Every structure is written in structure tokens, then in C-alpha cells.
Amino acid sequence: MFIVENYLTAVIFCFITMLCWGSWANTQKLVQKTWRFELFYWDYVIGIFLFSLAAALTLGSFGTEGRPFIEDLKQADTSKILSAITGGVVFNLANILLTAAIAGAGMAVAFPIGIGIALVLGVVLNYFLVEKGDPVLLFAGVFFVMLAIIINAVAYRRSSPNREASGSKWIVVSVIAGVLMSLFYRFVASGMDLENFREPMTGMMTPYTAVVVFSVGILLSNVVFNSILLKRPLEGKPISYRQYFKGKIRWHNIGILGGCIWALGNVLNLIAAGKAGPAISYGLGQGATLVAAFWGVVIWKEFRNSPKPVNGLITAMFCCFIIGLGLIIYSGGS
């Protein structure tokens, strides 16, 4: 199977993860006016599963190093499989709430608040799983990310007086999504031998196998979570699965594409964790907040017509994110 050999390659992979995790939501924005997010989300989940399986059967099965996917899956301990599935369930609940917040408040708000919180808590939790990197630099980076989250929330509340009521709801939803999102990575990483991908311990999984099991957890839990949201949506009228099957092929394909983009980032992030450590790998991947905020502000114009002081806050948010991510990167190479 393909294995990352050095820290520089791991950082590059984490940057690609950042781009993927920060860009997949553009696919939702493309169909948002004609396709409810609950329906989009089913295609997104299917895309994650299909891409994860394809990666395991190719990159995770070719070559002489590591254990091939099928062989690795057969020898994995039940506890490790359940851990990765749990990670998928936790992620799915968090991501459904995040997707709802994106639909309600926009990428430039939901991502910096939700994924920013996930980055902060996730880095802390994953650092104590495998203590790689300079803790002073790492947590200094976390501080600047926290500052960026606060600035973003303030900017959103000040951008329009009409957002006061609905804005509070989506900020709360984003915060809950972020707290849950910070937990999933640890469950998945716990099922892998992070110290040796080349010859992983018996019972532990390679990252490719963990990714597939994780995506199964997402797929199965979506039957429950998304079915509830269809009947009791956070916004709008209840809808049925009948509407999903009436959707245009183009809408379904866009949702599947969104899932594939996210899954590509997930695969690269997990195979980079062996060299970078889970805290740094996760932290850089969740730098997607910066990418998503860029899409929301510059491309989708989510803060257009806001008062001038808000523009200063948005600039400060970007600066804090950049400084924070820079410190997280440097902490792993010091």
C-alpha cells in the first residue's frame, strides 16, 4: 500500500486535505436553491463511501508494504472496527448539523465557528493520543484559531441587524457541530497503528481500512439521523424520501462529487498522520476553516452590503487563522 515517507510530504497531504475539506461545501451551494440540504446530504454520504472503498482497493491494496485492504480487514479486532464505526457516527451527526448551518448562515460563518471549534478541541484531544510536535507552538497556534473564531462570530452578528434572531440559532448549531466534530478523529485514529503503517500491529488497521469502516459508520447512521431531519427539519417544511428519487441526475452527481472531495481529503489526512502525528494532521486538515471562509467571503459574497467595520473584522479573522495554522505547522517540524 502507499505510505507517506517524510514530514514534508505529510504536510503537503494535509494542505490538500485543507483544500478538500474547505471546498466540498461549494457543491451544496451550487444546488442550494433547488435541492434541500437533507436530500443533498444523502448523495454526499454515498460519495464518501464510494471514494473510500475505491481508495482502499487501489492505494490500500497495491505494493508490498503494509497489509492489503481485504487482508487487513479480516484480521482487525472487533473493538478497533467498532471504534472507527463510532467515529463515523459521531462525524455524521456533527456534519449534518454543520451542513444545516451552511444552508442557513453560509460557509463564511458555519465553517469558521463549527470547524474552528473542532480544530481547537481536536488538536488538544489528539495531541494526548500521540504527543508529536512542540506543545508551546502547537497550543499558541490553537489560541490564534480560537481568536479567529470569536472575531468571525462577532462579524456575523454585526453584518446585518436582521440576522440577530436567526443568526443566534445558526451560531449555536455551528458550535454543537464543532464540539462533536472534534471527537470523531480520535475514534478513527485509535483503530490504527499510528507508529508503524508499514508493519502495523496485529488487530490494528491501516488507514485505508479505517477509512472504509469509518465511512460505513457514516452511511448506516445516516439512515437514522437524516430520516429524523426529513421529518423534523431545522428549517423549512418536512419532506419525504419520494422527493429524493425525483431529483435530477445532475443534482445527485453534484452531491456525490461533494462526498468524493471530502473523502479524498480524509484519506490523505489519515495516511499523513503516521509522520505528522494525529494532532498536527488533524489541525492542518481543519484549516479548512480558512479555505471555506475565503469561498464564502470572496466567491459567494456572504458578507456583501455589510457595514465597513465588518470588513476589518473579516481581515483580522483571516490573519489570525493564518498565524495559527503557521504555528501548528512549525510545531511539527521543530
Arithmetic mean of pLDDT, 283-311: 81
What integer best gives the mean pLDDT of the chain?
Answer: 88
Which phi and psi angles does 296 have, rounded to 5°? -65, -40
Task: Give the global pTM.
Answer: 0.85
| Average pLDDT value for residue range 89-105 | 90
Lowest mean pLDDT among 107-116, 139-148, 176-185, 219-228: 107-116
**Closest to 88 in 3D by CA, of 52, 40, 116, 123:** 52
Mean pLDDT value of segment 78-98: 95
Give residue 219's pLDDT band: very low, low, confident or very high (50, 70, 90): very high
Show the cell assigned to 255: 452531491
Reported confidence tier of residue 42, pLDDT bands at 50, 70, 90: very high
Supply 112's cell numbers. 469558521
> According to the per-residue pLDDT averaged within each range, which of 3-17, 69-83, 189-203 is highest?
69-83
Q: Residue 171: which of 104, 90, 233 has the closest Cα? A: 104
pLDDT band of 167, cuts 50, 70, 90: low
Burial (CB count within 10 angstroms: exposed 0-12, middle 13-18, buried 19+), residue 134:
middle
The pLDDT of residue 333 is above 70: no
Is residue 233 pLDDT above 70, yes or no? Answer: yes
Rounded Cα gap, residues 66 and 279, in angstroms: 23
Across the range 111-115, mean pLDDT stands at 82
pLDDT of 263 reads 97
Confidence of residue 49 (pLDDT cuts 50, 70, 90): very high
pLDDT band at 334; cut points 50, 70, 90: low
pLDDT at 200: 87
For 102, the grid coordinates are 451552511
Band the pLDDT of 194: cuts 50, 70, 90.
confident
Residue 114 in this model has a pLDDT that exceeds 60: yes
Q: What is the pLDDT of residue 160?
A: 61
**pLDDT confidence bin for 165, thresholds 50/70/90:** low
pLDDT band at 163, cuts 50/70/90?
Answer: low
Higher pLDDT, 119 or 210: 210
- Which letter, b or e, does each residue of 303-323 get, where b requires 16 or more Cβ atoms within 10 Å of its Cβ? beebeeebeebbebbbebbeb
Q: Report, in this order, helix, strand and coil percent for the chain, each rounded to 5.
A: 80, 0, 20
| Residue 64 in this model has a pLDDT that exceeds 80 | no
Give mean pLDDT, residues 237-253. Answer: 95
Which residues lie across from 192 on neighbouring strands?
205
Residue 308 confidence (pLDDT) = 82
Q: Which residue has the higher pLDDT, 331 or 23?
A: 23
What's the pLDDT score for residue 162? 55
User: What is the spatial distance between Cα 178 and Cα 171, in angstroms, rounded to a whole number?
Assistant: 10
Report how far residue 197's alpha carbon sits from residue 195's, in angstroms, rounded to the nearest whole number: 7
For residue 164, pLDDT beyond 70: no
Residue 262, pLDDT > 70, answer yes
Domain segments of the chain as ranges? 7-333
Q: What is the pLDDT of residue 97?
A: 92
